[in-house]
Every structure is written in structure tokens, then in C-alpha cells.
Amino acid sequence: MRRIGIDVGGTNTDAVLIEEGKVVRAVKAPTSEDVTTGILDSLKSLGSTGVLAGKKIDGVMIGTTHFINAVVQRRSLTKVAALRLGMPASASLPPFCDWPEDLAALVRGGVWMVEGGHEYDGRLFMPLDEAAVTGAVQEMKAAGLRSVAISAIFSPLDPGHERRAAELVAAVIPDAVITCSSDLGRIGLLERENAGLLNAALADLARDTIAAFETAIADSGIAAPLFITQNDGTVAEAGQARRLPVYSFASGATNSMRGAAYLSGLADAMVIDVGGTTADVGQLKHGFPREANSVVKVGGVRTLFRMPDLLSIGLGGGSHVQLDPLKVGPVSVGYRLLKEGIAFGGRQLTTTDVAVASGVLNLGDRKKVAHLDAATCKKVFDEAARLAEEAIDRMKTEAGDVPLIAVGGGAFLIPEKLPGVSRVVHVEHGDCANAVGAAIAQVSGECDQIFKDLSRTDALAAAQGIANDRAVAAGAARASLTTIESEDMPLAYLPGNSVRVRVRVVGDVAAG
């Protein structure tokens, strides 16, 4: 298997080539304004030694912050028609009701609410009012809206009404781009609907961006399918990512952690990814980051996206160092390190300067930091280690000592021994762990549903079957599927032994 992984970060676009489980080459190119040029440059640089010549590439996996940036920066967004099926319930909280006003003004093309939806146990809440749906769609058409987000009460349990409404939309607006909230998972109407609305708002950008990625790959002479990495450390085929761009919102941190697992060979460990300004601490379980289970805000909008649970602290290679009293971070010189660091002729003492002075790093001019004696350097390193230790202790969920993988450009700040850590693992290519994580991404399937009148074992088995089928539908090879999360929660007040089960499985991309 031969794959190229690309991570489009804020500063650099990293690319790696992985062949039969080994990193053959890793390169960095500056991220370009249009994103595509940076990808093309990194691919050219990757192939410049001839490693790609005449070889078949099985896939190019790209991780990008393009979609989340569009929402955060309020640009390139599509006007959305919101169609909710659930009247007369929830009428006082219509779609967009908890959005920041500036973002709602850009995205809200119109709101329609009609009767429909289900109960928690699958009973009908109200029959779908098809005439009202068709009437709404005619108004959407008259308003020139093409991107439609459909949500229905309890649609993760029964997506029937959303699907039927989608047919009715397509009958009137044949080129409509339709997002059904049931494709975006979880229980929680407003948060799921918000995810659907954001997804619909990204319809045009997703189409254009993924087309540009495909062009960049074709222009570089590589003939390989394109995959986009997702928030949870898996990939989606380009077609699916185009349909559900919100799933690719926050893949950078996830890719780093997955890359760390891969490069170290450890599936269960703590990871610290030390960049220029911040260090992200997370926990790997079965080779995947532990997910945040709570509400995640994106550009001010509440959602329930699958995102890794991370603790960020202000510690990095560019962190300001103050000697008396001793203080490291949280302020950083960031990408200006090569101008402002003392070893590079600047005036700000940074952690990198201390590493140069003590001989840990061979960068800049060591003479410029000769005034820092060994005792001072040790004090700074000890303080950095204390900050890291505290963050790791807060993120750990086991009482015993666990291994820690240190990656990222600032990984030199992490010492070989830390309290609460069984061993610290520094890996080769750790500074490109994010692109490595993209290259090795897998395909996942998830089921989050309420089961009634089933034993716990049967409910878990039913959920597992649904998750497996979804993973295969998303492009996974069935034989490679493994369960990485399985969680059940009995529901207070609901009758008949109701249990909410969440199962997630992953597998390798099926050979095409």
C-alpha cells in the first residue's frame, strides 16, 4: 500500500509518502492563500527526488481547515433554506434561533416548519404534512434557494420523514443540494439541526474546494483517488466529503494524534503535540483520540460534532521565557521565531533559544545565547516539563503510569522522564505527525440510537450491525472492521428498558 498524506495547516502544508507502512519521504511547503498552490508545491517537493516516479498511489488523503475557517471567518457561505419537520412541537425555538446574529444573517435564506417527526420509541409524533412541504419548497424555489437543510424530531431513530421530504424537495428543485440531519447523527434536535445548517452553508465551498484538490492532484501527475480526513481520524471519499463537509471540520489535531500512534506503534497512550505557540494534550484509545462528548461550538454555533477531547496549554517552541521570576509562556512569538528569537538576532528570549544554548537544538547562532548557563537552561526546561506534566495529569483517565508520545516541532521541550508517565517516546518524522495521520486514516461507521425491550447484549449487537453496515457503505473493507467505542446508557423515565447505545467501528479503506 502506498499513500500520500497532506495536512494543510495555518503555516505549513506538510506532505508525506508512506509505502508498506514506512515513511519514505516527508516535506513541508508554505500554505498558500488559495490552498491549492500549497498542495501542488508540497506534492512537487515530495516527488522531487523521484520517489513517486512510475509508482501507483493508492490514495491521497488531505486534512484541511478550509471549511471551519470559512465558518469562523464568515466567508464563501451559501444561503440555506431550513425545513423542520416537527410541528406543533418546538415552535418557539425555530432553526437558527441560537446562532450568532452576523452568521445567521449570512446563511439564513428562509425557515419553514411543518408537521411531522417521530417519538423516542419510533411511534409517529405527527404524520408528515406532504402538502405543506411541497408548498414550502415552491417558496424556496421562488426565493432562488438551492441548498436545503432538513431536520425532523428523532430522525436519528427514524429518518423516514427527512428522506420523504428530500424527495419532495428534489421533485420541485431538481438541482437542490440537500442535507438531512439524520446523516449527521446524534440525539439533540437543535445541535443536529445546526450541524445540518452549517453543512448546507458549505455546499458551494465544498464543491469548489474538493474540485480544486482534485485538480491539484491531477496537475501534479498523480493518478489516485482523493480522500478527505475527518474530525474523528477517519477519512471520507471525496464524494461523501463534498456532501458532508462538516465532518471534516477539525481534522488537524486528530491527524497529529493518529500520526503519533502510527509512528510510535502505540495504540493506548497520552500524546502531546507541541507546536510553536500551544501544546495539545490528548489521549489515544485503540489508536484513536478520545472524543469530546459534550457540545462543541463552531464559529459560535452549538453542535455535537465528533471532535477529539484536547487540553491546550500555552507552551511551545516560540514561548516567551522570563527568567526572574521564572515564567514560560503562554505568550509566544509564533511564526516570527526566526526573526524575534535571540539566537536568530532578535530580542525575545524563547524556549527555542534555551534549547539552542543547551545544545538540544542546532539552530541559529549559539554564540548569541552563550550568556545562558547550564543551571538557567535546566530551570527553564524543568518549568516546561512541569507545565506539560500538569496538563498530562489532567487529561489522564487511568491512575497508573502511561506512555507519552511527544510530537510536533516543539517536542524537544518534553524530557525523557516525567512523573505519571511510564516512558516518553520521541519519534522520527514527529514534526510531520499530522500528515502521517492523514495518510493512515481509516473509514468509520457509527450508530447512536435508542433500543427498547432488548437485553443489553442484544441492543449492543444490533447497534454494532448498524455501525458495521454504515462503515462498509462509507468505503471500508468489512473484514478489517474493529469496534473502537461501545457505550450504553439506560434512560431515566423512559419505559420498557430503554437504552441508548453508541457504537463506533473503523476499518481500512477497501481496495478499489
**Cα 272 from Cα 425, distance rounded (Å):** 10
Kindly tell me which of 91 and 211 has the beta carbon lying closer to another protein: 91
For Cα atoms 233, 429, 305, give the angle at the middle one, nearest 5 degrees: 15
Write out the residues near another protein by the rule CB under 8 A.
Answer: 86, 88-93, 97-98, 119-120, 123, 125-126, 153-154, 187-190, 283, 290, 293-294, 309, 393-399, 450, 489-495, 497-500
For Cα atoms 148, 149, 154, give the angle at the middle one, nearest 5 degrees: 145
Query: Residue 510 Cβ, how far from another protein at the closest point, in Å?
Result: 32
Residue 424 Cα distances to 23, 397, 419, 511, angstroms: 21, 18, 10, 36
- Chain center to CA of 371: 43
H helical segments located in 48-128? 66-72, 101-107
Kindly tell me which of 267 and 295 has the beta carbon lying closer to another protein: 295
Kindly tell me which of 28 and 502 has the beta carbon lying closer to another protein: 502
Kindly tell me which of 303 and 498 has the beta carbon lying closer to another protein: 498
Query: Residue 501 Cβ, how far from another protein at the closest point, in Å?
Result: 13
Query: Residue 497 Cβ, how far from another protein at the closest point, in Å?
Result: 7
For Cα atoms 262, 266, 269, give the angle at the middle one, nearest 5 degrees: 115
Query: Residue 181 Cβ, how far from another protein at the closest point, in Å?
Result: 11
**Cα 56 from Cα 58, distance rounded (Å):** 6
Kindly tell me which of 294 and 362 has the beta carbon lying closer to another protein: 294
Kindly tell me which of 386 and 394 has the beta carbon lying closer to another protein: 394
- Chain center to CA of 327: 32
Kindly tell me which of 9 and 159 has the beta carbon lying closer to another protein: 159
DSSP-assigned states of every residue in 425-446: EE-TTGGGHHHHHHHT-BEEEE
Query: Residue 253 Cβ, how far from another protein at the closest point, in Å?
Result: 16
Residues 6+ apart with CB under 8 A from 122: 157, 158, 452
305 grid coordinates: 460534532
Query: Residue 81 Cβ, how far from another protein at the closest point, in Å?
Result: 21
Please answer whether residues 199 and 245 qualify as being in contact, where contact means their C-beta atoms are separated by less than 8 angstroms.
yes
Residue 217 Cα distances to 4, 62, 296, 404, angstroms: 11, 11, 33, 35
Kindly tell me which of 227 and 305 has the beta carbon lying closer to another protein: 305
Kindly tell me which of 140 and 388 has the beta carbon lying closer to another protein: 388
Query: Residue 107 Cβ, how far from another protein at the closest point, in Å?
Result: 18
Query: Residue 91 Cβ, how far from another protein at the closest point, in Å?
Result: 5
Tell me how long the chain is. Answer: 512
Please answer whether residues 136 and 172 qualify as being in contact, where contact means their C-beta atoms are separated by less than 8 angstroms.
no
Query: Residue 279 Cβ, how far from another protein at the closest point, in Å?
Result: 17
Q: Beta strand pairing status for 443-451 and 499-507?
A: antiparallel
Kindly tell me which of 107 and 395 has the beta carbon lying closer to another protein: 395
Which residue type is seen at 235? V
Please answer whether residues 337 and 276 qualify as being in contact, where contact means their C-beta atoms are separated by less than 8 angstroms.
yes
Query: Residue 251 Cβ, how far from another protein at the closest point, in Å?
Result: 21
Residue 320 three-state SS: strand
